[in-house]
């Protein structure tokens, strides 16, 4: 109805928009824009019928791949998930409506009647949203073949093996650096090297020389050669 209103003429149709909507929302590729050239007697009702038939075939194909029992379980799971989310949103909307319904009195309206009317509208909108989301999710569910699943699992194993190999390489490198440092410390100890330790306080170059000559350290034992 959004793109092809009931009882409308072709000038009112948005076939390109319908084609894009079906591709995005339902994962369904239909050459809707070519239908007027392929069929002379095309009206809004026939367009709706062809789209419905294509959607039905789309779902039948999924059921063939999954099997009837699995398909029913999938439908039930999606329905409950969408319904739970939509019901919570509906309760929040109802709470918001209750908080502001008294303001209708300022517009010379009966708050109680307005509340019933808007509550019914909100509930109807929720039901339409649930149906639309369930159909959209089911239509877009992609069933992978056994070959695709096997290929994905093989790729995951390859990535995991490469990651494990990289971690082992990094661990070996880190261990090698530690071993080199320990070997250097042992070698220095064996050669008798020890860090230089100052016996007395540090003497500045302008301080008196510790030898007692009365000269500044830089002019006595602290001269630079």
d(CA 38, CA 177): 75
Where b means 16+ CB within 10 Å and e means fewer, 76-100 reads eebbeebbeebeeebeebbeeeeee
Statement: 68-143 belongs to CATH 3.90.226.10? no
Sign of CA dihedral 128, 129, 135, 136: positive
Q: Give the pLDDT confidence of 67-98 residue by residue, as tens digits.
A: 899 899 999 999 999 999 999 999 999 999 98
Domain ranges, ordered by start, for the chain? 1-66, 68-143, 146-178
Q: Give the pLDDT confidence of 38-63 residue by residue, as tens digits.
A: 887 888 899 999 999 999 999 999 89
Q: What is the arithmetic mean of pLDDT over 193-211?
A: 66
The strand ranges marked E within 6-160 are: none
Tell me if the pTM is above 0.85.
no
3-state secondary structure (DSSP) of residue 22: helix
Token pair recorded at residue 150: 């096997």
pLDDT at residue 56, as a whole number: 92
User: Which among 115, 134, 111 is positioned nearest to 123, based on CA atoms?
Assistant: 115
pLDDT at residue 222, as a whole number: 66
């Amino acid at each position: 109805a959004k793109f092809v209103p009931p009882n409308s003429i072709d000038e009112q149709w948005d076939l390109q928009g319908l084609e894009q909507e079906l591709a995005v929302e339902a994962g369904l590729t239909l050459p809707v824009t070519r239908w007027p050239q392929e069929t002379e007697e095309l009206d809004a009702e026939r367009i709706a019928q062809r789209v419905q038939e294509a959607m039905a075939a789309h779902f039948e194909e999924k059921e063939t791949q999954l099997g009837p029992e699995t398909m029913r379980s999938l439908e039930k799971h999606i329905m409950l998930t969408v319904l739970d989310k939509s019901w919570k949103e509906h309760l929040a909307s109802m709470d918001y409506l209750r908080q502001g319904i008294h303001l209708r009195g300022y517009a010379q309206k009966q708050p109680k009647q307005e509340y019933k009317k808007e509550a019914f509208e909100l509930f109807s909108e929720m039901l339409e949203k649930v149906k639309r989301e369930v159909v959209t999710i089911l239509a877009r569910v992609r069933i992978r073949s056994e070959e695709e699943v096997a290929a994905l699992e093989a790729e995951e194993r390859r990535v995991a093996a490469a990651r494990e190999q990289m971690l082992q390489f990094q661990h070996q490198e880190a261990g090698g650096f530690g071993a080199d440092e320990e070997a250097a410390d042992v070698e220095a100890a064996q050669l008798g090297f020890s860090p230089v330790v100052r016996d007395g306080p540090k003497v500045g170059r302008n301080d008196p020389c510790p030898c007692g000559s009365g000269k500044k350290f830089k002019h006595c034992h602290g001269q630079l050669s």
